[in-house]
Amino acid sequence: MCKTTNLFPTDLNIKNIRNFLVGLDKKVTLLDGTQRQYIYFDNAASTPTFTFIRDAVNEILEWYSGVHRGAGIKSLIATKAYDDSREIVANFVNANLEKNTVIYTKNTTEAINKVANRLNLTKDDVVLCSFMDHHSNDLPWRKHATLIHIDITEDGNLDLNDLEEKIKKYQKHLKLIAITGAANVTGLVNPVHQIAELAHNYGSKILVDAAQLIPHRKIDIKSDDNPQHIDFLVFSAHKMYAPFGTGVLIGPKKVFEEGDPDYVGGGTVNLVSENEVIWTHLPDKEEAGTPNLIGAVSLAVAIQMLEKIGMENVANHEMELTRYAYQKMNELDEIELLGPDQFSSFENKLGVLTFNIKEMSHSLVAAILCYEGGIGVRNGCFCAHPYIKKLLKVSEEEANETRNQILKGDRSTLPGAVRASFGIYNTKEEFDQFIDVLKMIINRNYKGKYILDKKSGSYHPENFSINFEKYFTFA
């Protein structure tokens, strides 16, 4: 069995990481029949992987067996790899495993739901989250507590004054502040340690949804006795170049040692009799069923990759690319950027550009980028409907009309935007190609006739279909 450190080239760095991207050379057929190397600008949704992560997966597959389940050598190897991965995750964010536990989940959404299920909240309890948060850090709290939203400023930033006012207003009932580390719509980074200190001053805990932030910036949850300590940290491997089905929840052991786990079954118990269940220790107690060995190993190797490159180098590369992208976008009068369009520094801004072209549907723009540019972006509301509504200044009358249309099965009037988001491997040359296609769209020089599917809200070119079997098919 190889050591994962041997998987990485000795000279691996931010400048050559692109050479190891899985699928980099893939070409797609465009509307005019030509082929173009695909450009992936949807990293805020999910990321591709790299050859050494794939190699590590292939390596552990040769030793695959049930984790914590068998007495055979393969099972012992698999179990050690799984357990070792947890330490790599903890060290990446400086989590103290004497007081905290690292629980593997399917994704960030499941991790947040687990916290919501395990905090013993009632409707008398208040949870604060913001209008900029993803639905996954909003909807779970609505089920278990009274959710109050922190407002945003005119340009889309978190309103810290409103946050403090609401903390003071609800402090008697406030149990948790659940906040995103960075907004998936605008890429704006929140001062999570400042918020943590504020929360702790008023007797509350803080949960940080780090799904968007952790692949791009160094995160330190700080020691448990530090007033800026992050109590709960959640994130997903698929957004940090390990798309193999693992999420992470880091939180205080004492929260999860008490009571019953939210999912029960195999692996969660020490003893079961007709009338009694004795739960096992953490983190196994909270990981019902057969663990995802492949997901854990791939996440650990992705973390090692990021550490080898250096998170400061990752941040600097992406800040430079984002600065360049904003400069280019601001040169186009027809582009309307969501959030601030000018930054003195990109320290607190991720590589996310969300925009509309004047007088054009966001869905149509995304379709043309796809079919005539070979560029993958995201469009819509990005699972952040309240944030989009505020950024686009959608009136209540417009919102009600959209609601009525959706209830009728018509999603074509749903407001939204187009989002381009960067990873560590993206380049200025790719963005130049993106700008060229945007200029073509702005000048209405695109070739296709696009048909709107009201049920999905998507546009598709007339008389064109993708031959999916050419790219992938089951035997």
Instruction: Provide DSSP, 221-287.
Output: ---TTSTT--SEEEEEGGGTT--SS-EEEEEEHHHHHSS--SS-STTSEEEE-SS-EEE--TTGGG-
The answer to whether residues 372 and 395 belong to one domain is yes
Structure tokens belonging to residue 213: 């932030």
The mean pLDDT of 275-280, rounded to a whole number, is 96
Tell me if 104 is assigned to some domain: yes
β 352-357/335-337 pair status: antiparallel
CA dist 109 and 383 (Å) reads: 12
Q: Are 26 and 38 in contact (CB under 8 A)?
A: yes
Partner residues linked to 353 by β-bridges:
420
* Residues 331 and 463 grouped into a single domain: yes
With respect to residue 327, please indicate whether it lies within any of the assigned structural domains: yes
Quick check: is 398 in a domain?
yes
If asked whether residues 178 and 140 sit together in one domain, one would say: yes
In the block, residue with structure tokens 């803080």:
206
Q: Say whether pLDDT at 1 is over 70.
A: no
Q: Are 201 and 227 in contact (CB under 8 A)?
A: yes
- Condensed to tens digits (0 to 9), the pLDDT of residues 50-69 reads 999 999 999 999 999 999 88
349 secondary structure, DSSP code? B
**Which pLDDT value is given to residue 5?**
58
DSSP assignment of 272-295 equals E-SS-EEE--TTGGG--SS--HHH
Which DSSP letter does residue 266 get? T
Q: What is the pTM of this model?
A: 0.96
What is the rounded CA–CA span in Å between residue 189 and residue 343? 13
The bridge status of strand 378-380 relative to strand 417-421 is antiparallel
Q: Are 471 and 395 in contact (CB under 8 A)?
A: no
Question: Is the peptide bond preceding residue 283 cis, with omega within 30 degrees of 0?
Answer: yes
**Cβ 340 vs Cβ 158: under 8 Å:** no
What's residue 71's pLDDT?
85
363 within a domain of the structure (yes/no) = yes
d(CA 223, CA 228): 8
pLDDT tens readout for residues 412-422: 999 999 999 99
Domain termination residue (choose one: 270, 291, 307): 307
Q: CA torsion 196→198→203→205, rounded to 10°?
A: -20
In a domain, 453, yes or no: yes
| Tokens describing residue 132 | 């900029």
The domain tally of the chain equals 2
Of the candidates 307, 341, 370, which is a domain's last residue? 307
pLDDT at 2 over 60: no
Verify that 315 and 355 share a domain, yes or no: yes
Return mean pLDDT, the chain.
Answer: 96
Chain length of the chain: 475
- Domain assignment present for residue 181? The answer is yes
Asked if 334 and 356 touch (Cβ cutoff 8 Å), the reply is no
Distance of alpha carbon 203 from alpha carbon 273, whole angstroms = 40
Q: Quickly count: other Cβ atoms within 10 Å of residue 147's Cβ.
A: 17
* Whether residue 323 sits in one domain with residue 285: no
3-state secondary structure of 391: helix
- Among candidates 402, 448, 422, 260, which has minimal Cα distance to 349? 422
Evaluate whether residue 157 is within a structural domain.
yes
Q: Which of 307, 322, 345 represents a domain boundary (last residue)?
A: 307
Query: pLDDT grade, residue 428 (50/70/90)?
Result: very high
Query: What integer is the mean pLDDT of 284-298?
Result: 97
Q: What's the CATH number where 153 sits?
A: 3.40.640.10
Tell me the C-alpha distance between 447 and 91, whole Å: 52
Residue whose C-alpha is closest to residue 378's, from 241, 227, 184: 184
Residues 363, 451: Cα–Cα separation, whole Å: 11
CA–CA distance, 66 with 382 (Å, rounded to integer): 37
Question: Could you give the CA distance from residue 333 to residue 359 in angstroms, rounded to a whole number?
Answer: 12
- Look up the CATH number of the domain holding residue 414: 3.90.1150.10
Task: Give 233's pLDDT tier (boundaries 50, 70, 90).
Answer: very high
Same domain, 122 and 263: yes
pLDDT tens figures, 145-201? 999 999 999 999 999 999 999 999 999 999 999 999 999 999 999 999 999 999 999
165: CB partners within 8 A, 6+ apart = none
Task: Categorize the per-residue pLDDT at 7 as very low, low, confident or very high, splitting at 50, 70 and 90.
Answer: confident
- Do residues 302 and 370 share a domain? no
* 2, 393 Cβ separation under 8 angstroms: no
Catalytic residue, candidates 129, 370, 381, 383: 383
Claim to verify: residue 96 and residue 164 sit in the same structural domain: yes
DSSP-derived secondary structure for 351-365: SEEEEEETTS-HHHH
Q: What are the residues whose beta carbons fall under 8 Å from the beta carbon of 110, sequence distance 6 or more? A: 247
Please indicate, yes or no, whether residues 19 and 72 belong to a single structural domain of this protein: no
User: CA dihedral in degrees (84, 88, 94, 95; nearest 10)?
Assistant: -40
For the chain, what is the largest distance between any 2 Cα atoms, rounded to a whole number of angstroms?
73
Contacts of 57 (CB under 8 A, 6+ apart): 244, 294, 297, 298
Tracing tokens 């929260």 back to the chain, one arrives at: 255
129 noted as active-site residue? no
Judgement on whether residues 95 and 229 belong to the same structural domain of the protein: yes
Distance CA 421, CA 93 (A): 23
Q: Can you give the residue range of the structural domain that contains 382?
A: 9-40+310-471
What does DSSP say about strands 247-252 and 100-105: parallel, antiparallel, or unpaired?
A: antiparallel
What secondary structure does DSSP assign to 148-201, as a single string? EEEPB-TTS-B-HHHHHHHHHHHTTTEEEEEEESB-TTT-BBP-HHHHHHHHHH
Is 108 found in the same domain as 209?
yes
* Spatial CA neighbour of 241 closest among 184, 189, 186, 300: 300
Q: Residue 48: inside a domain, yes or no?
A: no
Same domain, 244 and 335: no
Per-residue pLDDT tens over the stretch 308-351: 999 999 999 999 999 999 999 999 999 999 999 888 889 999 99
Please tell me the number of Cα atoms within 13 Å of 103 on its side-chain side.
Answer: 36
